[in-house]
Amino acid sequence: MMSISTDTTTNTKRQDDVAGKPLIELSEIRFSWPGGTLPVLEIDHFHLGHDESIFIRGPSGSGKSTLLGIITGILLPQDGDVVVVDRRINDLSGAERDRFRVDTMGYIFQMFNLIPYLNIVENVILPCQFSKSRKAQALRNSSTLEEEALRLLSHLNLGGSEVQDKVVAELSVGQQQRVAAARALIGGPRLVIGDEPTSSLDSEHRESFLRLLFEECSRMGSSLIFVSHDIDLAPMFDRVVELSEINNAPDGTAGGKE
């Protein structure tokens, strides 16, 4: 088992650079798909504070993926400002946005999060292969990346070689989601985004997964954006946003390309 003694060092509440500004701020956003005439997303204002956990609810096709695409810098809105950690994403080049994304964000997909040809630890440390800052942060917590991965895995109840030595395909869905959570958390990104990460879990695993995720996010000092249509989980979050209420786009339910 990994030593727990290093845990306190990771619990760095980044008070120094909060300075009252939110972690993410979207203003006057308007996005439409290339060739599409009507915007699919029109948001006057959206923000996320430091160490805040937010639940974004919306039926499928309500523009959730588009919103996440804009926050992560995959998509650029035609109008409006996207400011993440004091940087205006609109101004960054594609390569800069790619680097910025991995430096500041961890991402958990709905399912099949893992790369089949890498082992569990390799999957967890993947962001550190592309981000120097996350690698450096991970190495502040543990002496090697592997050790840090194992530490996170054991926090997410995936300790012990009987789980860690398994091939990715042998893991249960719940275990896969927790490995994905470890990957999203490694190197302490400012933001963890879960794109319906609990949809493939049954109800009892949902809550325990979420509880572990909360625990690790607060330990790492990461904010959490959680997108789901499952309102049962909403009470666990600091704030709940109904996407249909902030999205003014007339085509907001068309869901763009999907």
| Terminal CA-CA length for the chain | 44
* Binding to another protein in span 82-141, by CB under 8 A: 94-95, 98-99, 101-103, 107, 109-110, 112-118, 122, 126-127, 129-131
Dihedral angle over CA of 191, 195, 200, 205, nearest 10: 30
By CB under 8 A, residue 190 contacts another protein: no
By CB under 8 A, residue 207 contacts another protein: no
From the list 11-19, 72-80, 136-144, 205-213, the region that binds another protein by CB under 8 A is 72-80
Q: Smallest distance, Å, CB 20 to another protein?
A: 29
When the beta carbons of 51 and 196 are compared against another protein, the nearer one is 196
By CB under 8 A, residue 144 contacts another protein: no
Task: Give the CA distances from residue 9 to residues 109, 142, 219, in Å, rounded to whole numbers and listed in that order.
Answer: 28, 10, 9
By CB under 8 A, residue 61 contacts another protein: no
For residues 73 and 98, what is the distance between their CA atoms, to the nearest angstrom?
A: 8
Residue 43, classified by CB atoms within 10 Å of its CB into exposed (0-12), middle (13-18) or buried (19+), is buried
Q: Pick from 75, 236, 240, 254: which binds another protein (CB under 8 A)?
A: 75
Task: Give the CA distances from residue 159 to residues 147, 156, 187, 191, in Å, rounded to whole numbers and listed in that order.
Answer: 12, 8, 19, 24
Contacts with another protein, residue ranges (CB under 8 A): 65, 68-69, 72, 74-75, 94-95, 98-99, 101-103, 107, 109-110, 112-118, 122, 126-127, 129-131, 183, 258
